[in-house]
Chains A and B, each alone.
Chain A
Amino acid sequence: MDRNVCIIAGGMSKWGVRNGSQRDFFQEAAKACYEDNLQVNPKEIDGLLVASAYTERTSYQTHLAPLVAEHIGVKPKSICARVELLCASGSSAIILAFGLIKAGQADVVMVMGGEKLYTPQKWEVFYSELASVDHDWDGPQGLGLPPPVFAMVAKQHMKQYGTTKEQLGAISVKNRRNAALNPKAQFQQGITKDEYMNARPIVQPLSLFDCCPITDGAAGVILCAEEKAKQLTDKPLVYLRGTGQASVNNMSANMPSWTTWEALKIAGQEAYRKAKIEPKDVKVAMTHDCFTISEIIEMEDLGFCKKGEGGPFVGEGQNDLGGKVPTNTDGGLLGCGHPFGGTGIRQAIEVMKQLRGDATQQVKGADIGLTHNLSGFIAAHTVLVYGREPV
């Protein structure tokens, strides 16, 4: 059995500095997901995957999936488990749901992701991030929080390819502008070029608006087999076509290159091959803009522009609306925020809407969409390709 798999519903809670607990946000997200497609009876969902990285740390809760199932009124029978790959937890869970449905091990799977990151004392979340990198080797160097890592990436990319601060700014201004049109996004106001250039430095060359914030929130999508999707939605079908996930190193000392992300190239090529497409076929993309420099390198290593030309590519608006590959049309991580497990789900929702044709900032003729996450110390990359047609 090898079935086509569709994404038929998606919704998210409000993201930001939120009042409430992890389980509150999962209920809000499930409600939004159910409301996106009233033809799906949640009682028919046979599998649940829940993506969360910091549940054990900031909510002191393992065995999360049955807890979420109980709260969102789902009684899974094919799969009920949590998935973790930090920033790529949500996308990883979608890949696993895809495989289970494709193979006939599940029919209708809900994939949720989210985090409660703010704790009663803020220092704790920053301290807890020591678990995001190699705790024993990179953590004690003060590398738990990512800004120094991405500042080093940016400095080297600037030195090697002539990328400028203004080009980094193009990403920030674009994604914050897009977020202002997304009521679920953490930031509801855009920023000007001047505000970007004059922001307080964090780690040179990165300043405040180069960095995504800490975020509470959750999101959910529903995937199912094509035959089922035809019964469960009147909207255009959106197919998951191919995926790739790669890791070539974990600790910083083993990074093959800081400015060419080898694992991203591998994951991208794997996803393109399985989806039977080329980079030029991608009409809309949600790539992992945890920092402005990330989105620039992603344009290069996903093959949307030549290596080293990411700066001019984004500076000329080639990844903005009207350009070659509009990217992060819902605001991205820089605008929506980044509750780790939720991010890949949020990206899937926006790509689903773009391919269905009902996105807030609709890309005309979008028939192939892509999502991407990096995770940890740029230690793994995850790429998913969606389409209006099956492979």
Chain B
Amino acid sequence: MTTPGISVLDGKYMVTMDLFPQQSKEFNQVYAFYENLKQGRFTTTKCADCGAESFPPRVMCPECFSTNMQWIDWPNEGTVIEFTEEVVGVPLGFGKAPLVHALVDLQGKKTMFVRVINCAEGQLKVGDKVRVAVFDVDPVPQEVKGGIQEIPRVFYAFEPVT
């Protein structure tokens, strides 16, 4: 890896240029979300005191302010309420146009606005079923005790259920 124009940064990792979140326990207290995602589970935190299920996952319940959180599985399949296809201006890191997004009813838990992958232009229809699709993203070279350790990472989109 080189960094043109800024030779002192050659080979250096920059968190400020990373489009994905930090997923190691040293840099993220909800790292379990990503650990679970690696196993194909779509999870979030549930408040053990008031029962509120929040997304994104929390350290503190925004309803009753308890910090007594437990991880629960959420559905990993939902229904397309509406969708969009971005044909111009797809940002770096999201492949070739079109970039497809859908507003997905996650079985009443939340209405998620998410990227839909493995889906051709014109393929998606309102009412279609889509499911969580987990993919690998670039690992983070993190400093650990004087050395560099590669922290593997994943993220999720949705894909049509065929």
A residues near B (Cβ < 8 Å) are 57, 123, 126-127, 129-130, 134-145, 147-149, 151-152, 155-156, 159, 200-204, 251-255, 258
Contacts and interface: CB of A to CB of B under 8 A. Distances in A.
Contacts of B134: none
Given A134-B56, A253-B55, A253-B112, A142 B91 contact: yes
Given A152-B101, A152-B103, A155-B84, A141 B91 contact: no
Nearest to A251: B56
B46 interface: no
B86 A203 contact: yes
Interface string B104-122: 0000001111110000000
A138 B19 contact: no
B161 interface: no
A156 B91 contact: no
A251 B112 CA distance: 9
A141 B157 contact: yes
A145 B89 contact: yes
B151 interface: no
A149 B87 CA distance: 14
Given A135-B21, A203-B84, A253-B113, A147 B89 contact: yes
Task: Report the 9 A-B pairs with minimum CB-CB distance, sorted nearest first.
Answer: A136-B21, A252-B113, A142-B94, A203-B86, A151-B84, A141-B115, A253-B110, A202-B88, A148-B101
Interface bin, chain B: 20 to 34
Given A127-B91, A159-B82, A202-B89, A143 B110 contact: no
Contacts of B148: none
B19 A127 contact: yes
> Dominant SS at the A interface?
helix
B92 interface: yes
Contact of A144 (B21, B91, B157): B91
A148 B19 contact: no
B124 interface: no
A134 B30 CA distance: 15
Contacts of B112: 252-253
Nearest to A152: B84
Contact of A140 (B21, B88, B90, B103): B21
B84 A148 contact: yes
B111 A253 contact: yes
A144 B20 CA distance: 12
A134 B56 CA distance: 10
A200 B87 CA distance: 10
Given A141-B115, A251-B56, A123 B99 contact: no
Contacts of B85: 203-204
Contacts of A251: 55-56
A149 B110 CA distance: 17
Contacts of A149: 113
Contacts of A138: 113
B82 A156 contact: yes
B21 to A, nearest CB: 4
27 contacts: A57-B16, A127-B17, A127-B19, A127-B92, A130-B91, A139-B19, A140-B19, A141-B113, A142-B101, A142-B115, A143-B101, A145-B91, A147-B86, A147-B89, A148-B84, A149-B113, A152-B113, A156-B82, A201-B87, A202-B87, A202-B88, A203-B85, A204-B84, A253-B111, A253-B112, A254-B110, A255-B113
B71 interface: no
Contacts of A143: 101, 113, 115
Interface string B71-98: 0000000000010111111111110000
